[in-house]
Chain A
Amino acid sequence: MSKTELRFTIIFASVMLALLVLLASPNFALLRGATPQQQQPTAPAASAKATDNGGANKTIRIVRSPLRTVQDPNPSFSSVAVDPTRDEIVVEDENRDQILVYGRLDNTPAQAALTEPKRVIGGSRTRVSENCGLYIDPFSGDIYSVNGDQANYMTVWSREKKGNADPDRTVDTPHRGFAVAVDEGAKELFLTIEHPPAVVVYPKEVDGNQVPLRILEGDKTQLAEVHGLALDTKNQVMFVVNQGPTSSNTPDGGWQRDIKPGSPTVEWTNDDQRWKYLVPGSGRTLPPSITVYPLKASGDTAPVRVITGPLTQLDWPVHISLDMDRQELYVANSVSDDILVFRATDNGNVTPLRVIKGPHTSISKPHGVFADTKNGELVVANFGNHSSTVYKLDANGDAAPLRMIRSAPANAPAPMFGNIGTLAFDTKRDQLLVPN
């Protein structure tokens, strides 16, 4: 045996001996891949003391693969917008935290699994997360995307960007942003905040943690878990969708309190502190509504009109879109699988002008809606069936879509998971309860 072989043999034997000693130790149980039946868990430490860290080696460490995993591998559409200049449909994929760009006339054949997008923006560098609000600059084609939960940003994307890229602009927003719209005449950008409810207005070219121009918030506004937003620049009003739950800000509360006089920047109070500026016990659940304000409204301004009441059929309304020429409002009504159409001048407890609803529509848990007035079409983002469906702008009743873009095979299940904040097991029904 050469010296090299001898050295190798000694090292190998030493390693094997050390491994055997380690595995034989009663305090070490790394049971990689073992089934529960194969394992011999020891009893828990019975004499742990107040500052006992000597118990660390009593921890039984187990490595085990999950028995089951439930997740949707397919994009789920939470918002939609059309770029009529470039003939594109852009959707927010809230399930996989991506922005997808399709051809406007794309139509997934019935036998096809899905339609591939022309462009995908997604990945850790993008900061896109639980994205739910969308605007396309009609001039540049830039995409404005609002994050809905964990990451408090709005990101802005030029047409050149794709894949796991850095956004052109990242705007710090209050927690729980939802929808975005722009008054191109005034170059003002409107952003809704679900709760504490507000509409925050920025210069259109906002970047970083720049202060907003004004904030609409307060009890008189009747804002309550705010979602969609539409601007009527012709008549100088804005329409805001409210789902209902709300509570009151303290007199020195509200998002406005974060804006320091003279400061060009703002640090929004985080969620762990924001609750201190809510009045305890002031909570209430208002009926769902569409509230209408002057376009320049700020502070605690009451709406000039409110569409609300049982005749409206509003049931967790989400996004909204306005046809300024026809003066019609399109509302994605998520729970009852329909699109409600109102006159822009409606007020109070009114019946919708039209309702697009029925088995032929393929509408399922609609979240996004966009009135493409150039092409006379209405585009819907269906969160419940991985699709975007297109109708004539004046469609009514159980109308079949003109076209459909699917991101998954037809009838693929949609768990519709969001950020699962808690779980509970129903032992009577053997079911798992999963809130979003």
Chain B
Amino acid sequence: MAYPQIAAFARLANGDVAPVRSIAGQSTMISRADHDLQYNSATDEFVNANPEAQAIMTFRGDSDGEAKPIRIIQGPHTQISFPNHGIGLDNVHNELFVVDKEFILVFPRTAVGDVAPLRVIRGSDTMLANARGMLVDPVRNLLLVGTNNGLLVFDRTANGNAAPRAIIYGPVSGIVKRKPASQTEALSEARGGGGGPAIGSIRLSPKGYVVSVRGRVAEPQDRAGAPAADGKTTNGLPAGITAWSLDDIAKIHGRGDLAPAFVLSSPTGKMAGGSIALNPNEKEVFLGGLHSMEVYSFPEIF
């Protein structure tokens, strides 16, 4: 795993292009295994995690080169273990949520240093298993977390061994644990390298859609011209950018298998990957995966 930079690309970048900025180097305190990054447009900052150093770091929006983080949450009181997935920002209540595999830590958004979390959602009732993507909705007072048990919906202020108020899971929703698409993927999953949870990276569109990627995404051999071992798609489904209505999710209590409002697929049935970002200005969805990115127009969800 080569170069753990945070690179910035122009929105209209296309083809083989170099980044316009690269935040990299010892001073940045960045490490590899960073699987969530949140840009805060209200404060012009971005937040990411260094799972190896058990740190949550905030950078100025215009950071470049060997920029240092302006705030770091790190230390024995933080309870941070390996936060390589899921960061949530709540500017209304000024809180920062951190997913840490099987629990969630909530800090003051501007916390610095060795601070104890305000709340910890942890315990067997939470159903937090391999928790990954997260989003906070301060309007509906919801906290959504993608896990191996499905998309879990908590009250925003949940604390302790709190059970989710709703669990979205099932074939209608498309939120099901992925079946490995190849021997390589299966073996990788068995070893914990690239296993697929029920739902990973999630984002909230301004129009109130919860957006994620379901189904099989492209593997390196797809680009190398070699077919995947079985040449099939996951669960018979093509990869798709999937959008569920958050208003509909909010109506569910208990288990639900909610149909998505939209599924956008590519003609090839494959997409770049499961990492996702939304550009509300031009109504675009960015996807990232192994060594590539794609941009889709998706005005229906904005």
Mark A residues whose CB is within 8 Å of B. Answer: 32-33, 36, 39, 41, 44-53, 55-74, 76, 78, 94-98, 122-125, 127, 129-130, 132, 148-153, 164, 172, 175-176, 178, 194-195, 225, 243-247, 268-276, 278, 280-285, 287-288, 314-316, 318, 334-336, 365, 367, 383, 412-436
Contact = CB atoms under 8 A, between A and B. Distances in A.
Interface in B14-58: 14-21, 24-26, 29-39, 41, 44, 46, 48, 50, 52-55
A209 to B, nearest CB: 10
A65 to B, nearest CB: 6
B26 A132 contact: no
Contacts of A61: 240, 262-263, 265
B159 interface: no
Contact of A50 (B26, B52, B224, B254): B254
A48 B35 contact: no
Contacts, number: 442
A52 B249 CA distance: 11
Contacts of B290: 130, 150, 417, 419-420
A276 B122 CA distance: 14
Interface in B243-292: 245, 247-249, 251-267, 272-273, 275-281, 283-284, 286-292
10 nearest interchain CB pairs?
A: A270-B192, A283-B54, A420-B288, A123-B226, A275-B82, A71-B292, A281-B76, A44-B261, A48-B248, A423-B277
Given A64-B297, A70-B13, A418-B2, A50 B255 contact: yes
A432 B79 CA distance: 31
A427 B226 contact: no
Given A424-B277, A431-B9, A55 B172 contact: yes
A50 B1 contact: no
B209 interface: yes
A375 to B, nearest CB: 27
A436 B2 contact: yes
B226 A122 contact: yes
Contacts of A271: 192-193
Given A70-B16, A124-B226, A283-B55, 8 more contacts: A64-B264, A66-B296, A68-B13, A247-B81, A422-B37, A423-B276, A427-B41, A433-B8
Contacts of B273: 420
B232 interface: no
Nearest to B41: A427
B61 A225 contact: no
A336 B291 CA distance: 23
A32 B266 CA distance: 9
A421 B257 CA distance: 27
A282 B54 contact: yes
Contacts of A274: 82, 192
27 contacts: A33-B267, A36-B297, A45-B245, A48-B248, A50-B254, A55-B172, A62-B298, A63-B266, A70-B17, A72-B16, A124-B226, A129-B184, A150-B194, A151-B187, A281-B54, A283-B53, A336-B25, A419-B1, A419-B290, A423-B277, A424-B38, A424-B39, A424-B46, A426-B46, A434-B9, A434-B288, A435-B48
A172 B291 CA distance: 24
B241 to A, nearest CB: 9
Interface string B214-242: 00000111011011110000000000100
Contacts of A32: 267
Q: Which of B8, B55, B293, B295 has the most CB of A within 10 A?
A: B293
B20 A423 contact: no
A429 B20 CA distance: 11
Interface residues of B, number: 134
Interface of B: 1-21, 24-26, 29-39, 41, 44, 46, 48, 50, 52-55, 61-62, 66, 74-82, 84, 100-101, 114, 130, 166, 170, 172, 182-184, 187-188, 190-195, 201, 209, 219-221, 223-224, 226-229, 240, 245, 247-249, 251-267, 272-273, 275-281, 283-284, 286-300
B16 A96 contact: no
A246 B51 CA distance: 9
A266 B142 CA distance: 43
B267 A68 contact: no
Contacts of A383: 2-3
A426 B30 CA distance: 19
B74 to A, nearest CB: 6
